[in-house]
Amino acid sequence: MQTLGLSGETRRSDGVLKSLFWPTVDNAWDVDYLGRQGLAICTAVAAVQLVMAFLAGNPVYLVFGLAAAIVFLLGGLGVREGSWPAAAMVFSLYVAGLLAGMARGLPPGVVSVIIAGVLLSNLRATILAATWKPAGEDEDKPARFNESILDFLTDQLPARTWPVLRYVFYFAASIFLLLILAGLVALALARFGIIRMPQP
């Protein structure tokens, strides 16, 4: 496929590490790759959220962890489709969750900080990809395949579902963000003695 120019792997501007932490966008293959990478990042964050919820052993945490995982997965669909607001919401949710943990006396670990950094880089990459314009309308660009289950999940499913699921994502993500921010405000008010938090 590379001989026929159907594979974009050789046309990307950056290596794997650079595209993960400080990507550039010079062509349509960069845009496509960063969309795929963003979906993979959001899927990995969703998996981490789910594992942490299971490890907590609390049914309430499990329900919230499952809901958070779904929100991150939906956000990944938006990132794949080049939606920088979706990338911004995913980053905001993750950082707000870290801040809520810190307010409860749980400092973030090294892995959590790295994930936050990767999500910030993902936001930057999505903004770059969304604002990139080809030099001409007939410029060569990568095709979206449907030859395997991975092709379907990364190329076809986001394009088919994001136009409808974006409304679900933004609603659910906004509710999550408001709940986290409300919890942070309540913790701050309790720290200053304005309100009293119930003891576990």
Please indicate, yes or no, if residue 147 is contained in any of the structural domains.
Answer: no
**Interval 119-135: pLDDT, tens:** 999 999 999 988 888 77
Residue 200: per-residue pLDDT: 54
Please indicate, yes or no, if residue 184 is contained in any of the structural domains.
Answer: yes
Q: From residue 186, give the alpha-carbon distance in Å to each of 63, 102, 142, 173, 193.
A: 22, 14, 49, 20, 10
Please indicate, yes or no, if residue 105 is contained in any of the structural domains.
Answer: yes
Looking at the whole model, is its pTM more than 0.85?
no
- Residue 188, both tokens: 């701050």
**Interval 88-101: pLDDT, tens:** 999 999 999 999 88
Give me the mean pLDDT over the 19-43 stretch.
Answer: 88
| pLDDT higher than 60, residue 10 | no
Domain hosting 186: range is 14-132+159-191
Please indicate, yes or no, if residue 142 is contained in any of the structural domains.
Answer: no
**Interval 142-189: pLDDT, tens:** 878 888 898 898 989 999 999 999 999 999 999 999 999 998 888 888
Question: Within 13 A of 54's CA, how many CA atoms are on the CB side?
Answer: 7
Please indicate, yes or no, if residue 5 is contained in any of the structural domains.
Answer: no
What is the rounded CA–CA span in Å between residue 74 and residue 58? 24
**Interval 40-65: pLDDT, tens:** 999 999 999 899 888 888 888 889 88
List % helix, strand, coil for the chain (3-state, nearest 5). Answer: 70, 0, 30
Number of domains in the chain: 1
C-alpha angle 23-29-35 in degrees, rounded to nearest 5: 60
Please indicate, yes or no, if residue 74 is contained in any of the structural domains.
Answer: yes
